[in-house]
Structure 1
């Protein structure tokens, strides 16, 4: 049954600590594994730690989680007491200001009894496994920490109760209390809840069953520099080709200086906008030198656009205002540069091209964001086309893409195919490079024609992809 250990009023995430297996009582330098992880959680922004002790098996444990989920008023994290992890790994979920639904995942796809397989796609877990549930084409493993956002707590409670009933009646095979959190992840994924995959990178998060395994896991923690990993993970891992190789390779060295100067991500966004406006002014001069300087300033503006996100991830100072301002700033900067290029050109038809490029970009953003919003709304409302739920009684997860969509997903697993898929949609990094290079070495007409040609292909690709996904 749950026992409250610690309460803080200033945060919105509470923790359910499953001390339902004997491994939680294994010894370590901090006392027991339960003592160790409780101490780690006390250093993180959690409002309450509730320990679930053995009380009737897996079914009872899951009903305890359901009871807590129904009365909680903020995000709830569920994790086992037999977990040996870096504090920084726990912080990837518990310190994230969004308090959204997510799970700790390792890209080491070697599955085992204490590290069930998952399939990660687009930063989300799209299939999760247990001893009963099979994951086709698993590409990662779940590492025991699950956080559920406030909007999904009702779903968590329903899933926990359903799983408890299935476990008590033996319909899930010989599952045990060890798999409680694994089964909850399976249930959330199969019910259509979007679960963010929080990748631990080189950090450790391992569940153990015996004293030797516990000693080995604790000793392995010292092999990793958590501060260095925090800096490395501040750089977006799944960014575009240009951002990855032409910006993030050196912008990472600006993160710590920016933090020491106490710059906020919003302040960096503001500086980025100022540089883009300067770029537009130089583009409007209409000279070769002006276009070269404008291209350089526009590139530096994009560097700062990447840096504001990296600084936000490093300092974990995300905010709805910051996310909105960053998105609006991207649009404003790009359109300001369009205006500058048009003003600096003597081509009589340049304004028609500038307006066409602006409209095309607006349409592309509409395709992208309206689709994502519609899918999210449909999932919340329970619409069948949003993301159909999959039965927990089905051992195999049959949701596998076929046809052209399946081919595209398989192509994306190869390095060349991955970058091709990234570049074809003309993301902001590639648009920045395209604008800067064509404006610096040619003229505004070439810039707008390039944007229209590549952007048109990108729009058709996006639209076709959305239609095929909707037809699944």
Structure 2
């Protein structure tokens, strides 16, 4: 499943070259030169600002101007960062990331942060002291297009404070650190993007830079890039029945120079074959159709993994993927209903009302998708206009019942069993494809449609209840 870009405009990276470490020797060049080459290869548009021993207020003012005029995601990167390319790309190359910061394990350093539930909830620097840090900011910050206005406001305010010498002992090379703290304090949701096995660190001298390059070489970056292409928050069936081995298919597809859209097309072809086999109605054909449907879903996962691995994202690809997911599913419904009818008359709705069940299953899925898409749109609109109601004290007023349900859902996320149960009950596409394949292979289409309606009805009620609670 491919990633929907927030915008087709290329991300812009502002690299802060206001530290002497940016000009340390590296592979015959400099740390700054290596960093700009990495960013170009991702690719993002690079804009270098500042100079060694530069002015913090001036750099912040320039960032405010760029943010105010921009319409694409904007990255702010310290020029002394030594990192794996994939570590930086893990934040900048995936359009769905939005606003986020690259964070690593807790340790000594000037940029402590506290991360909770995969987001940065507090950030420190030489000016802002932080208690209870559990991670460190690694000098790479991306601000999504929706948060550019907030970034411009924070950068302008910090620039004025720096100009008036009101930022205490803040150093000239701490622009990114100050901006992260300012964004978090202003209420912007900043995702904490972990490094995993990869490395990214800021260096202060040649010895530290040499040691950092040594740590980069000790990691198989290509393997890490392949692992990163596999979604970590997928459904149960996709995680354990597909993602455990699909990375091999991704590597083969990349070697064959297949595009994500090409893989989507093959997935559609397999789904059509499954529908044709289902339509014959024989047990052998039902089994063959179930296998074809499973392989179609595997490639439905692989197209997104390939897009992340090769960094080939496009609005057309995301639209094709989402559209053909529905087309494949509904074509399979038709094939199942034809195969079950088997030429029998059975009235207008076929034997055992099979056509009525098929249409009901289609309508239920359409309603469920409508609930999801309309809710996502409402959340995005609310974020743009700041529609949350705030009390005179500045806190958000929320219905008590809604808070209780959301907190209960949050507690479920802390346990492995309950977390997977939550993901399974909503009947995501992986579980739906597995349900169709298994019931069609070992039972019949009547059982398939009844199971889809019962489980899908429970999922719709569960999802709708959760949406209402969060909306309150």
TM-score, normalising length from structure 2? 0.83
Aligned partners of 1:419 and 1:111: how far apart in 2?
36
- 5 Å-filtered alignment, 1:18-29, equals 18-25=16-23, 28=26
Which stretch of structure 1 is more off in the superposition, 417-426 or 376-385?
A: 376-385
Instruction: Tell me which of 343, 352, 356 is aligned to 1:352.
Output: 356
- 5 Å-filtered alignment, 1:303-382, equals 303-346=298-341, 347-382=351-386
Which stretch of structure 1 is more off in the superposition, 189-198 or 443-452?
A: 189-198
1:289 is paired with a residue whose SS is: helix
Aligned partners of 1:469 and 1:254: how far apart in 2?
38
Deviations 1:248-288 (A, max 9, x none): 11221111221222211111111111111111122122222
Q: CA deviation at 1:245?
A: 1.0
2:155 is paired with a residue whose SS is: helix
Which residue is equivalent to 1:448?
449
Which stretch of structure 1 is more off in the superposition, 352-361 or 295-304?
A: 352-361
- 5 Å-filtered alignment, 1:48-87, equals 48-53=46-51, 58-72=56-70, 74-87=72-85
Which residue is equivalent to 1:383?
387
Distance 1:234 1:49, change over 3 A: same
CA contact (8 A) 1:69 1:153 kept: yes
Count of residue pairs brought into register by the alignment: 447
Which residue is equivalent to 2:440?
439
Q: Does 1:91 align with 2:89?
A: yes
Q: Does 1:467 align with 2:465?
A: no
Distance 1:366 1:414, change over 3 A: same
Instruction: Tell me which of 271, 275, 283 is aligned to 2:278.
Output: 283
CA contact (8 A) 1:63 1:161 kept: yes
Q: Does 1:113 align with 2:107?
A: no
Q: CA deviation at 1:167?
A: 6.2
CA contact (8 A) 1:259 1:315 kept: yes
CA contact (8 A) 1:411 1:418 kept: yes
Q: CA deviation at 1:45?
A: 2.6
Deviations 1:87-133 (A, max 9, x none): 2222334444x496343434746685334233344xxx363422548
Instruction: Tell me which of 13, 19, 37 is aligned to 2:35.
Output: 37
Runs of 5+ consecutive residues of structure 1 not aligned to the other structure: 1-9, 395-400
Distance 1:11 1:323, change over 3 A: closer
Distance 1:340 1:190, change over 3 A: farther
Which residue is equivalent to 1:5?
none
Q: Does 1:208 align with 2:206?
A: no
Aligned partners of 1:350 and 1:432: how far apart in 2?
19
- 5 Å-filtered alignment, 1:173-252, equals 175-177=170-172, 179-189=174-184, 195=190, 198-209=193-204, 212-252=207-247
TM-score, normalising length from structure 1? 0.83
Q: CA deviation at 1:56?
A: 7.6
CA contact (8 A) 2:403 2:469 kept: no
Q: CA deviation at 1:382?
A: 2.8
Which residue is equivalent to 2:151?
156
